[in-house]
């Protein structure tokens, strides 16, 4: 039951009041006396966060002041390395809080997030706009060629100098004040945007009380809906929600077309219902503020500001890249539409295919064309087996092992914890796996860290990594069974996990996944390739009841069907990428009418009405809450990289040890220590080509 807002405010006031009493007992303010320093989740209360953030900010300010006030001439060590070593407490508190606010939130956590967002924005600006600090960085930067720095140190120094410029250090006093106001407002708006999506997702319920309306649905989906209904007080009924594990099987299999339309429209209209959870004003304001900020810093658009530091370099290159794939993808999607419409006509129905029909008829066409549907393969993809399959791939590539531990703290009973080791038993890090949906978790799948790999005073700081997903939960009589898309998602996020776990740098600003946005998806997406290799499927795809390894005949069917519906998949993704770029190449600070803007954007590229952009603006978390603004295209760019990179493994052997070691050293371990294209060419020996991607998707 949702509590009135005045009670939430009161709760937060009590949190802050109680925080004054916890003082020295605050677990966030001391070393964690736990295995491997994993946060003691059960000891951490909401009352601890605000004082921990305040103390972290205070300590960070002292550390920055010490750097500024140092009377010695600025050097790499007393300026850049000192900054890299500062703010450790604040980083720790922020990593814990924001990870949990995504994976296991509540109204008190969300209220605290709104309170601390402007504090953190102000703190970041206090550092970025500190003229004295910038002058020290600039002094070091101007003599960098004479300092004898190694590659990683040179990259760190260059990044610091550029980031100070990009952060407004060269602005005048009035412009600095304006920038602070923009950053504070953006921080709050971003939180509100994500909170609205979570609340609206949790609010919708498709309640079914007539068993006939379940026709066509797989048994696991029906059982899951019954359990959801019971948990929500609808005994004897079935409840479906807009969380994907619930919604996707419904729109794939439910014969009741009206109900498919109802749940699908509820999903695509999230944040666009002109009510208390509406996101239109929030995102249009964010887009306008981003234009204002970019202009203030000397950039034409927000996209120019963002892309400068990536592989794409500018918006024109992104549009050129998207255009190369759009036309073949759209042509393929139109072929797929014709196949589905023909099926509708052949069945004697007289309606025109709509967006809420696509998933349903795609399954039917796949069944007829390839004698394959999801329900045939799901029994072979039990969650625990798929996890072990991902682990087995990493073991064969690099010799690393994953040992489940029951003595490590976890923040929810659904979480599993693993210690990761080298082949010789050396500790690498900790992996927390959290794969089931709940109301306290946002939708989607992601990877994050509770502690990032780095070195402090020569000592290796090992990572604590979390992989989070939203897969269908086990039922009373079946374990958690995954769709093929779920399997790929698990391998994908595991790839991000490996990027964090196998990082081997020194300076935190360039270790692990601190790389260009259009490079960060390579380690994740290349892992998806191993998931479907017959040799790998034989390692983990076994029937949950019989233990039978997935039959070769079924694997062949999967391979034959792998290019089916790729027109749809590529088109809905590319549409979202264009939409992202259009929002962030705005040059006008006028707040847009969101629905009109979106319609114009998608009409310009000729998106067919039967396909909806993968993300509509009002629930587009990637670009309004998750750091992918002007960067959503990077998933497709990473497909270019991963298709080209995996081709090397196909040629040498998918577990070739020399190639695997090169990938580990030059991609996973290197982080952001060099230009990403330089790192890629060190691994591959050449720049990537687009042809492997187009062939992989069946677009040529």
pLDDT tens-digit profile of 228-237?
999 999 999 9
- The predicted-structure confidence for 475-503, as pLDDT tens digits, reads as follows 888 999 999 999 999 999 999 999 999 99
CB within 8 Å of 73: residues ≥ 6 apart: 139
Q: Which residue has the tokens 């029951």?
A: 406
Alpha-helix runs per DSSP H in 356-407: 358-370, 374-377, 383-398
DSSP 412: S
DSSP 536-584: HHHHH-B-TTT-PBPPHHHHHHHHHHTTTTHHHHHHHHHHHHHHHHHHH
User: Phi and psi of 97, rounded to 5°?
Assistant: -65, -50
Is pLDDT above 80 for 24?
no
Q: What is the pLDDT of residue 696?
A: 85
Q: List, for residues 412-425, the tens digit of each pLDDT value.
A: 999 999 999 999 99
CA pair distance 246, 239, nearest whole angstrom: 9
Per DSSP, what are the bridge partners of residue 461?
454
Quick check: 16 pLDDT over 70?
no
Decide if pLDDT at 120 tops 60.
Answer: yes
Is pLDDT above 60 for 570?
yes
CB 254 within 8 A of CB 222: no
How far apart CA 530 and CA 392 sit, in angstroms, is 11
The larger pLDDT score, comparing residue 689 to residue 203, is at: 203
Question: For residue range 294-341, what is the model confidence (pLDDT) as tens digits?
Answer: 999 999 999 999 999 889 999 999 999 999 999 999 999 999 999 999
Using DSSP, state whether 41 is helix, strand or coil: helix
Q: At what angle do helices 88-103 and 46-69 cross, to 10 degrees?
A: 150
* Residue 85: φ, ψ to 5°: -90, -5
Q: Which domains does the chain have, with CATH numbers?
A: 5-128+130-170 (1.10.1370.40), 204-268 (no CATH), 292-378+567-624 (1.10.1370.10), 379-562 (1.10.1370.40)
pLDDT digits (tens, 9 = 90+) for 505-557: 999 999 999 999 889 999 999 999 999 999 999 999 999 999 999 999 999 99
Q: How far is 302 from 652, CA to CA, in rounded Å? A: 42
Question: CA 458, CA 297: separation in Å to the nearest integer?
Answer: 37
Q: Is the pLDDT of residue 411 over 70?
A: yes
CB contact at 8 A, 279 and 193: yes
pTM of the predicted structure, to 2 decimals: 0.91
**Catalytic annotation, residues:** 493
Q: Which stretches of 392-445 are assigned E, i.e. beta strand?
A: 401-405, 416-421, 427-434
Q: Is 320 exposed, middle or buried (0-12, 13-18, 19+ CB in 10 A)?
A: exposed
Average pLDDT, the chain: 94
How do residues 284-296 score in pLDDT, each as one tens digit? 999 999 999 999 9
| Mean pLDDT calculated for residue range 41-66 | 98
Average pLDDT, stretch 106-118? 96
User: How many angstroms from the chain centroid is the CA of residue 324?
Assistant: 25
């Amino acid at each position: 039951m949702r509590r009135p807002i005045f009670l939430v405010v009161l709760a937060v006031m009590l949190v802050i009041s109680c925080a004054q009493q916890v003082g020295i007992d605050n677990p966030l303010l001391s070393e964690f006396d736990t295995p491997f320093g994993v946060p003691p989740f059960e000891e951490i209360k909401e009352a601890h966060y605000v004082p921990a953030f305040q103390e972290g900010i205070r300590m960070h300010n002292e550390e920055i002041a010490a750097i500024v006030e140092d009377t010695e001439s600025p050097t790499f060590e007393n300026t850049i390395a000192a900054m890299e070593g500062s703010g450790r407490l604040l980083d720790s508190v922020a990593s814990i809080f924001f990870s949990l606010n995504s994976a296991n939130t509540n109204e008190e956590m969300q209220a605290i997030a709104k309170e601390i967002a402007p504090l953190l924005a102000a703190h970041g600006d206090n550092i970025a706009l500190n003229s004295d600090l910038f002058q020290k960085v600039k002094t070091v930067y101007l003599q960098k060629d004479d300092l004898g720095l190694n590659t990683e140190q040179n990259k760190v120094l260059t990044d610091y100098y550029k980031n100070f410029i990009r952060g407004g250090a060269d602005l005048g006093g009035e412009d600095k004040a304006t920038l602070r106001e923009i950053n504070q407002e953006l921080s709050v708006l971003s939180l509100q945007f994500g909170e609205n999506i979570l609340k609206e997702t949790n609010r919708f319920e498709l309640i079914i009380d007539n068993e006939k309306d379940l026709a066509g649905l797989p048994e696991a989906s029906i059982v899951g809906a019954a359990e959801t209904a019971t948990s929500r007080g609808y005994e004897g009924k079935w409840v479906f929600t807009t969380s994907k594990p619930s919604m996707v099987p419904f729109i794939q299999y439910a014969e009741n077309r009206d109900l498919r339309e109802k749940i699908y429209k509820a999903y695509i209209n999230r944040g666009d219902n002109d009510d208390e959870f509406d996101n239109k004003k929030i995102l249009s304001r964010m887009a306008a503020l981003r234009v204002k900020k970019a202009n203030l810093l000397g950039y034409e658009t927000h996209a120019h500001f963002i892309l400068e530091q990536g592989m794409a370099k500018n918006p024109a290159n992104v549009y050129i890249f998207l255009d190369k794939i759009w036309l073949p993808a759209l042509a393929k999607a139109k072929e797929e539409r014709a196949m589905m419409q023909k099926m509708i006509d052949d069945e004697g129905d007289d309606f025109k295919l709509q967006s809420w029909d696509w998933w349903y008829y795609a399954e039917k066409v796949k069944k007829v064309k390839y004698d394959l549907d999801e329900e045939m393969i799901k029994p072979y993809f039990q969650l625990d087996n798929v996890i072990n399959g991902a682990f087995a791939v990493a073991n064969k590539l690099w010799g690393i092992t994953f040992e489940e531990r029951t003595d490590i703290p976890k923040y929810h009973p659904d979480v599993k914890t693993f210690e990761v080791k080298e082949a010789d038993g050396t500790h690498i890090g900790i992996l927390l796996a959290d794969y089931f949906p709940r109301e306290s978790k946002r939708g989607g799948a992601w990877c994050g860290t509770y502690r990032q790999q780095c070195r402090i005073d020569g000592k290796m700081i090992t990572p604590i990594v979390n992989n989070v997903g939203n897969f269908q939960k086990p039922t009373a009589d079946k374990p958690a069974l995954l769709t093929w898309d779920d399997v790929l998602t698990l391998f994908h996020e595991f790839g991000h996990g490996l990027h964090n776990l196998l990082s081997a740098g020194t300076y935190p600003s360039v270790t692990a996944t601190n790389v260009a946005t259009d490079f960060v998806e390579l380690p994740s997406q290349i892992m998806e390739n191993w998931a479907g290799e017959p040799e790998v499927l034989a390692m983990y795809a076994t029937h949950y009841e019989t233990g039978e390894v997935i039959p070769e005949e079924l694997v062949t069917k999967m391979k034959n069907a792998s290019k089916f519906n790729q027109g749809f998949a590529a088109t809905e993704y590319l549409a979202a990428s264009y939409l992202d770029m259009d929002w962030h190449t705005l040059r006008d600070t006028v707040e847009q009418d969101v629905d009109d803007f979106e319609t114009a954007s998608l009409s310009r590229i000729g998106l067919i009405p039967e396909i909806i952009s993968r993300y509509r603006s009002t629930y587009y978390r990637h670009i309004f809450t998750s750091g992918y603004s002007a960067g959503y295209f990077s998933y497709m760019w990473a497909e270019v990289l991963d298709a080209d990179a995996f081709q090397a493994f196909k040629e040498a052997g998918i577990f070739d040890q020399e190639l695997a070691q090169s990938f580990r050293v030059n991609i996973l371990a290197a982080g952001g220590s060099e230009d990403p294209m330089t790192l890629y060419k060190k691994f591959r020996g050449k720049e990537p080509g687009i042809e492997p991607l187009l062939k992989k998707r069946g677009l040529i």
